[in-house]
Amino acid sequence: MKIILDSNILISAIIKDSKTREIIVYSGYNFLMPQIVFDEIKKHESLLVEKSGLSKSEIWKLINLLCKYIEFIETETLRPYIYDSLRIIGETDEEDCIFIASAIALSCPIWSNDKHFKVQNKIKIYTTNEILKTLE
Protein backbone atom coordinates (compact mmCIF):
# COMPACT_ATOMS: atom_id res chain seq x y z
CA MET A 1 0.00 0.00 0.00
CA LYS A 2 1.20 3.53 -0.82
CA ILE A 3 0.75 6.05 2.02
CA ILE A 4 1.59 9.76 2.29
CA LEU A 5 3.44 10.56 5.53
CA ASP A 6 2.44 13.67 7.43
CA SER A 7 5.52 15.57 8.66
CA ASN A 8 4.60 14.94 12.30
CA ILE A 9 4.80 11.19 11.69
CA LEU A 10 8.37 11.46 10.43
CA ILE A 11 9.30 13.84 13.25
CA SER A 12 7.84 11.39 15.77
CA ALA A 13 9.90 8.55 14.26
CA ILE A 14 13.05 10.66 14.50
CA ILE A 15 12.50 11.85 18.07
CA LYS A 16 11.55 8.55 19.69
CA ASP A 17 12.23 4.87 19.10
CA SER A 18 8.58 3.91 18.80
CA LYS A 19 5.92 1.96 16.93
CA THR A 20 5.93 4.78 14.39
CA ARG A 21 9.57 4.14 13.56
CA GLU A 22 8.97 0.38 13.45
CA ILE A 23 6.07 0.81 11.03
CA ILE A 24 8.16 2.94 8.66
CA VAL A 25 11.06 0.48 8.68
CA TYR A 26 9.33 -2.90 8.88
CA SER A 27 5.79 -2.63 7.49
CA GLY A 28 6.69 -3.03 3.84
CA TYR A 29 4.38 -0.14 2.92
CA ASN A 30 5.47 2.34 0.28
CA PHE A 31 5.71 5.65 2.16
CA LEU A 32 5.80 8.94 0.29
CA MET A 33 6.35 12.52 1.39
CA PRO A 34 6.49 15.88 -0.37
CA GLN A 35 10.16 16.91 -0.78
CA ILE A 36 9.40 20.40 0.49
CA VAL A 37 8.35 18.96 3.85
CA PHE A 38 11.63 17.08 4.21
CA ASP A 39 13.46 20.31 3.43
CA GLU A 40 11.58 21.96 6.32
CA ILE A 41 12.46 19.12 8.70
CA LYS A 42 16.16 19.64 7.91
CA LYS A 43 15.83 23.25 9.06
CA HIS A 44 14.74 22.05 12.51
CA GLU A 45 17.80 19.91 13.21
CA SER A 46 18.57 21.57 16.57
CA LEU A 47 15.02 20.98 17.82
CA LEU A 48 15.25 17.30 16.82
CA VAL A 49 18.55 17.00 18.70
CA GLU A 50 17.04 18.65 21.77
CA LYS A 51 13.83 16.58 21.82
CA SER A 52 15.45 13.23 21.00
CA GLY A 53 18.53 13.48 23.19
CA LEU A 54 20.61 12.28 20.24
CA SER A 55 23.66 13.99 18.76
CA LYS A 56 23.52 15.70 15.35
CA SER A 57 25.44 12.78 13.90
CA GLU A 58 22.99 10.25 15.37
CA ILE A 59 20.01 12.29 14.14
CA TRP A 60 21.37 12.29 10.58
CA LYS A 61 22.13 8.56 10.69
CA LEU A 62 18.54 7.98 11.78
CA ILE A 63 17.11 10.37 9.17
CA ASN A 64 19.16 8.64 6.46
CA LEU A 65 17.90 5.25 7.65
CA LEU A 66 14.26 6.38 7.65
CA CYS A 67 14.64 8.03 4.24
CA LYS A 68 15.50 4.63 2.75
CA TYR A 69 11.84 3.77 3.32
CA ILE A 70 10.36 7.03 2.00
CA GLU A 71 10.00 8.19 -1.58
CA PHE A 72 10.06 11.97 -1.93
CA ILE A 73 7.64 13.73 -4.27
CA GLU A 74 8.89 16.75 -6.19
CA THR A 75 6.89 19.92 -5.55
CA GLU A 76 6.41 20.51 -9.29
CA THR A 77 4.50 17.22 -9.50
CA LEU A 78 2.02 18.50 -6.91
CA ARG A 79 1.36 21.99 -8.29
CA PRO A 80 -1.63 20.93 -10.45
CA TYR A 81 -3.36 19.55 -7.34
CA ILE A 82 -2.88 22.48 -4.94
CA TYR A 83 -6.13 24.25 -5.86
CA ASP A 84 -8.24 21.14 -5.22
CA SER A 85 -6.37 20.43 -2.00
CA LEU A 86 -7.05 23.95 -0.74
CA ARG A 87 -10.75 23.44 -1.44
CA ILE A 88 -10.66 20.23 0.60
CA ILE A 89 -8.71 21.37 3.68
CA GLY A 90 -7.61 24.98 3.14
CA GLU A 91 -9.84 26.58 5.74
CA THR A 92 -8.92 23.96 8.33
CA ASP A 93 -5.13 24.10 7.93
CA GLU A 94 -3.74 25.62 4.76
CA GLU A 95 -0.23 24.32 5.48
CA ASP A 96 -1.47 20.74 5.17
CA CYS A 97 -2.73 21.21 1.63
CA ILE A 98 0.58 19.78 0.34
CA PHE A 99 -0.31 16.40 1.90
CA ILE A 100 -3.81 16.48 0.43
CA ALA A 101 -2.31 17.41 -2.96
CA SER A 102 0.05 14.44 -2.67
CA ALA A 103 -2.82 12.10 -1.84
CA ILE A 104 -4.86 13.38 -4.79
CA ALA A 105 -1.91 13.16 -7.20
CA LEU A 106 -1.02 9.61 -6.20
CA SER A 107 -4.50 8.32 -5.27
CA CYS A 108 -3.44 7.13 -1.86
CA PRO A 109 -4.25 7.75 1.82
CA ILE A 110 -2.42 9.89 4.38
CA TRP A 111 -0.94 8.71 7.67
CA SER A 112 -1.45 11.45 10.26
CA ASN A 113 -2.50 11.76 13.87
CA ASP A 114 -3.73 15.32 13.30
CA LYS A 115 -7.48 15.29 13.94
CA HIS A 116 -8.19 18.13 11.52
CA PHE A 117 -7.44 15.81 8.59
CA LYS A 118 -10.51 13.79 9.55
CA VAL A 119 -12.88 16.77 9.04
CA GLN A 120 -12.78 16.15 5.29
CA ASN A 121 -14.13 13.05 3.56
CA LYS A 122 -12.33 13.11 0.20
CA ILE A 123 -9.05 11.49 1.28
CA LYS A 124 -8.68 8.43 3.52
CA ILE A 125 -6.70 9.27 6.66
CA TYR A 126 -5.05 6.64 8.84
CA THR A 127 -3.93 7.29 12.41
CA THR A 128 -1.01 5.32 13.83
CA ASN A 129 -3.45 2.98 15.60
CA GLU A 130 -5.32 2.40 12.34
CA ILE A 131 -2.06 1.66 10.52
CA LEU A 132 -1.18 -0.85 13.23
CA LYS A 133 -4.54 -2.58 12.72
CA THR A 134 -3.81 -2.98 8.99
CA LEU A 135 -0.65 -4.86 9.94
CA GLU A 136 -2.37 -7.39 12.21
Q: What are 24-55's pLDDT values in tens digits?
A: 999 999 999 999 888 888 888 889 999 999 99
pLDDT at 90: 67
- pLDDT tens-place string over residues 4-18: 999 999 999 999 999
DSSP 101-126: HHHHHHT--EE---GGGGG-SSS-EE
Mean pLDDT, rounded, for 101-130: 93
Domains delineated in the chain? 2-134 (3.40.50.1010)
Beta bridge partners of 72: 33
Question: How many whole angstroms separate alpha carbon 77 and alpha carbon 7?
Answer: 18
Q: Please classify residue 13 by burial: count the beta carbons closer than 10 Å to its beta carbon, then call 0-12 exposed, 13-18 middle and 19+ buried.
A: buried
Closest CA to 11 of 45, 34, 61: 45
